[in-house]
Homo-oligomer: A and B are copies of this chain.
Amino acid sequence: MPTARERARAQTTEAILAAARTQLAEVGAAALSLRAVAREVGMVSSAVYRYFPSRDELLTALIIEAYDDVGEAAEAAAALVAGRSPRERWLAVWRSVRAWGLEHPAQYALIYGSPVPGYAAPQDTLPAAGRVGVVLGAIATAADGGVVGDDDVAAAVAPDVPGTLGIDPRLAPAAVSAWTLLFGTVGFELFGQYENVVIDREAYFDHVAGTAATSVGIG
């Protein structure tokens, strides 16, 4: 059982994270100020350092949160359409990622934009980053389209990727490419690259999702 001190510590940590989330959504990652976060929580900036050793560590915590959040959104979307066809499920997951990005642009920029801290302690973020990929891999495998590539390219992908995604190794390059295209498309929309280029973003996105589904063997 947690002592009073431990409970207080967890509570304060959560309060700091909550304030940081608010700040992040309001001013973005670059302008996120540890002192402003401290003011919002009602304590002095030096006290925050008892909980997070630096601003970068606070950002890293927010990064992991964001990865988990978008992963949960994708999993929830997949669960909602569990009975439908693979193509419908694939589209639903793609849409959920786009919707999450539109709703949390600062978080999206934090995880899929340029890395702000010195490559943000990659080890900590790696497990959380793959959750969306796992969801997509399960759908593609369920479809079992049989369309794939050759073994040469398959060797370019890390050997444990097919295992964690639950897919055929020969499907891995196409799956990684589809995963890249998903986040690339959402990122381009969010970061303004589609300004004066794509008018109907929903229609365009659904179309891309469809071709990507085909590319991983979903009929």
Contact = CB atoms under 8 A, between A and B. Distances in A.
A157 B199 contact: yes
A198 B114 contact: no
A9 B174 CA distance: 52
Contacts of A149: 207
Contacts of A173: 204, 207-208
Interface residues of A, number: 53
Interface string A48-82: 00000000000000000000000000000000000
A22 interface: no
B200 A156 contact: yes
A149 to B, nearest CB: 7
A119 B195 CA distance: 11
Interface string A104-120: 00000110111110011
27 contacts: A109-B114, A113-B113, A115-B191, A122-B192, A122-B195, A126-B196, A149-B207, A152-B203, A153-B204, A155-B199, A155-B200, A155-B203, A156-B198, A156-B199, A156-B201, A156-B204, A157-B198, A158-B196, A159-B199, A173-B208, A174-B211, A176-B194, A177-B185, A180-B184, A180-B208, A181-B181, A184-B185
Interface of A: 28-30, 109-110, 112-116, 119-120, 122, 126, 129, 149, 152-153, 155-161, 173-174, 176-177, 180-181, 183-185, 187-188, 191-201, 203-204, 207-208, 211, 215
